[in-house]
Structure 1
Amino acid sequence: MFRKKLDDIAKIDFFFSREMINSSLYNEIKKECNAIDENNYFSSIKTTWSAKWKNLVFEADLAAFKTDAHNYSPQKLFDVFRPPCAKTEQDLNLGKQVPIVSTEVDMCHPLRVQFYFNLPEVQKAFHGNQTNLSYRWKGCFTANFKYNEADKDLDMLPALKNLLQQSIPIKIFRLVLYLYAVLFSNTFLK
């Protein structure tokens, strides 16, 4: 995430582009967030979404992941190409559902990210751990990292600019849907 407010809007755009939410809900959300300046990349102002916007986005999450408010858990909403995890996170933590890790990573396992990014083949593919660190990779949500909810509103672009000015290499991985890449490049070339 580079800018939380743009990522919030991009998530809704993605849901609509994949026909995971209907046009009525999409248009209502876009109308509600219309006051957000999407081109202002240098603002450090925290985005405060209205209660109506939050409710609409919650409704979009439920629709996109084909779940209901009773079974909703943000931790289960990670892969739009798979159904949400059947069990609750508490069941996973209590061992009621045993994750199977053989040739694949069980995406319902709560520590899937730490497991996945510590696989040597994954680190090689992402050009990670090039200095052969002696410890395992950990995500931002560990107790040692001191990451908190307020950090989500920080704008990463100035930090990236600072790193680049110091000649520190940065690798940014992203998914570009082929159709959108063609549409945007054709529009840009005209």
Structure 2
Amino acid sequence: MGNSSFFFVVFFSFIVLGTCDFLLDQQKDKIDELPGQPPNVDFNQYSGYVTVNQQSGRSLFYWLTESPTNRDPKSRPLLLWLNGGPGCSSVAYGAAEEIGPLHINSDGKTLYMNPYSWNKLANLLFLESPAGVGYSYSNTSSDLYTAGDARTAEDSYAFLINWFERFPQYKHRDFYIAGESYAGHYVPQLSQIIYERNKGVKNPVINFKGFMVGNAVTDDYNDYIGTFEYWWTHGLISDSTYKSLQTTCEGGSSEHPSIDCIRALTTAESEQGNIDPYSIYTKPCNFSSSFKNRRGHYPWMRGAYDPCTEKYSTEYFNVPEVQKALHANITKLSYPWKTCSDILGGYWGDSPLSMLPIYKELIAAGLRVWVFSGDTDSVVPITATRYSLDALNLSTIANWYPWYDNGKVGGWSQIYEGLTFVTVTGAGHEVPLHRPRQAFILLRSYLENKPMQRSLNSI
């Protein structure tokens, strides 16, 4: 055999073997069937682990739900969804309660199809981050006590780089990031890393187009002002407590409040009583814990609002057969799967006071940035978001106007230069679970880069 033929064979073998490697990895992650799933599942699912740090043994768990086959998943963008906490699971909330195609019935054993799943518009990638959340883990136990914003963003970026190697069909595909609550930190920070590391790259693997966040922790100073104002104007706290909160909390950190601020917050919690602070006009779940540690628990069930869905998730994702089908808990963690980590929430490290500088950088870069807000959330309320956005000092393109769904006001919107703000009426902290149809319309408008419809006849 001549040299040229030899090198051709070697090169060809390398290509074939390399191709086989990622196909084998994908096949290992492919979900054949989840326990209790309905018979009409018409989309591919994959889940498993991606190592983000070899030295410490940090591995993050993901769940990909592609678009249905009749909606041509190959032509659809990829959307990464992140929940916050910090320390809460995107599988528990984003996938199983909000935007995912499969939601959990009250028996904690069976699933049903979400008619307003976002996978009808995009391929959905859910990530449990950082290590210690849900099924994600680290072989270095100190990682659970030293987590913070910076490492979370770096690990999420490392996850994406490695994940795209496993799923190269998504390389160069239009890519978006969305999330809610404390993901108001995760999403822009990860977006910034991607944007800055894409600079100068002609055809980046991560073809990042923009991000969207809802009821998002954004800027501590303005979030505090807006939150306390919301509590007071909605009759949830007394005049004296409102003044105390203004005096002791403003200017501090929401993740690391002062002792006096904590006292004032405790008084406010007592005055608010047994309500669901994430959705102030709906009943709370009787088994729920104190609101200080809860991060969005109240999904929309078929026909009626059910405030106890977190219980169903906890039951379902601890079933051994479910974990086996998801290729999860492969290290046999010493603790059960939980919707939110008990450890991470109490040991969070770095947490910048403001995301506004990142917003300014990414808006100037021309990325698509949308912010949305459910107006019945008292944890990160609409007033907090409006104060934070006002601090950006953006020019207004289209002033405040109502948008419609089937002849009814679905919320309001204002279009700024470089940013669109949308409210969803009657929605709590997790907009897609209280108003799934309106959230679906919101995503469609975002992906199409079209303003929310002013017409009474919009659908």
TM-score, normalising length from structure 1?
0.49
TM-score, normalising length from structure 2?
0.23
- Which has the higher Rg, Structure 1 or Structure 2? 2
* Structure with higher RCO (Cα < 8 A, 6+ apart): 1
Higher strand proportion (structure 1 or 2):
2
